[in-house]
Amino acid sequence: MVPSGVTPPLIEFIDVSIARQREHLLSRVSLTVAQGAVHVIVGPNGAGKTTLLTAALGLIPFEGRILAHWRGDGRIGYVPQAFAVDPSLPVTVEDFLALTRQRRPVCFGVSRAARARIASLLRDVGLDGLEHRPLSVLSGGELRRVLLANALDPLPELLVLDEPASGLDEGGVGQLEDLVRTLKGSGCTVLMVSHDLEQVRRLADRVTVLDRVVVTEGPAAETLARHDVAALLPSGRRQ
C-alpha cells in the first residue's frame, strides 16, 4: 500500500470542472495519484469517471489544473472503454499493433522486428497465434486484450485503464490483475476505472469514489470499509 503524503504525486487534479451543454459533468474535482500506485476510481454510471480519465489524457477541455510530475519519458498507455471496429475493415491484429511500432507504413507490410515484438506482446495477454485475425472478428474480450497489449509496450509511466475487465472471462480477469501487479512492481502508476468492487479490493492502493464530485478518497481497504460504495454502483455490478 502506498500511503498518501509519503509517495510523491505523479498526477494532480486541482479543482477540475467539466461542463457540456450547461450540464456539469465534473465539479471542482481534486485528487492526487501517487507515483507507483494503483489508483482506482469507482462511482455510478454518469459519475464522470471516463470524463475524468479523458481530461487527464488531454483529450477534452476542462477548467482547473491537471499537473503531471513525470520521472521518466512520460509515456502513457491507455485502454479505452469503447473501441468500435468497422465490421468490414481489413486490418489485422498485427497491422493494428504495428501502427505505433514501426515507421514503415503498415500497408507496405509489417517489419520483422515489429512482428517479433507483437508476437511476444500477444503471448503476454494470452492471444498467441491471433496475429493475422482481422480486428473486426475479435470478441469483446479479445479486443480488450489487444488494446491492453498495445498499452503495455513500451512500458508506460502511467497506465490508464477504463473498465479493463469488461468483456473478459474469468481467466482474462486473472491475467489482467497479474499484469497490473507486475506493472506496479516495475514502477508503473495505474489509474483505473472499475465497477467490480472485489477487483478493486484485490488491486487498489487508493480508491476515489466519484459522483461528479469527489465523494470520498483514501486507502482502498479503509475507504471501501468506511463507505457503502456498493450502494452507489449499478445493481448488476455490486459484489
Partner 1 sequence: MTPLYQWAASLAERGMLPSDFQYPFLIRGFLCVLVLAPILGGLSHLVVTRRMAFFSAALGQAALTGVAIGLLLGEPLNAPYGGMFGFCLLTTLAMVYVKRHATLPPDTLIGVFHALTLGLGLCLLVALTRQFNVHQVESVLFGSLLTVTDADLLLLLAVGVLVAVLLVREYNKLLLDSLSPPLSSVSGADSAFLEYFFAVLLTLSIVVSLKVIGALLVEALVVVPAAAARNIAGSARSYLVWSVVIAFLAGAGGLGVSTKLLVPTGGAVVLAVSAIFFVTLAAGALLKRRSRVSR
The residues of the shown chain that bind partner 1, judged by CB under 8 A, are 54, 57-59, 76-78, 80, 83, 85-86, 88-92, 94-96, 98-100, 102-103, 105-109, 132, 134-135, 147, 150, 160
User: Nearer Cβ to partner 1, position 91 or 213?
Assistant: 91
User: Nearer Cβ to partner 1, position 57 or 119?
Assistant: 57
User: Nearer Cβ to partner 1, position 35 or 54?
Assistant: 54
User: Nearer Cβ to partner 1, position 104 or 238?
Assistant: 104
Q: In b/e form, how buried is each residue of 25-45, taking b as 16+ CB within 10 angstroms?
A: bbbebebbbbbbbbbbbbbbe
| Dist. CA 215–CA 227, nearest whole Å | 10
User: Nearer Cβ to partner 1, position 88 or 186?
Assistant: 88
| Dist. CA 224–CA 17, nearest whole Å | 25
User: Nearer Cβ to partner 1, position 132 or 235?
Assistant: 132
Reduced to 3 states (helix: H, G, I; strand: E, B; else coil), residue 151 is helix
- Mark out the alpha helices in the chain (DSSP H runs): 49-56, 93-98, 112-124, 140-152, 170-185, 197-203, 220-226
Contact by Cβ (8 Å): 217, 52: no
Give which of 93, 99, 194 is closest to 145, Cα–Cα: 93
Least CB distance to partner 1 at residue 219 (A): 29
Least CB distance to partner 1 at residue 39 (A): 18
Q: State the pairing for strand pair 63-68/9-20.
A: antiparallel
Least CB distance to partner 1 at residue 74 (A): 10
* Grid coordinates belonging to 81: 472503454
Place of cell 520521472: 71
| Dist. CA 150–CA 224, nearest whole Å | 31
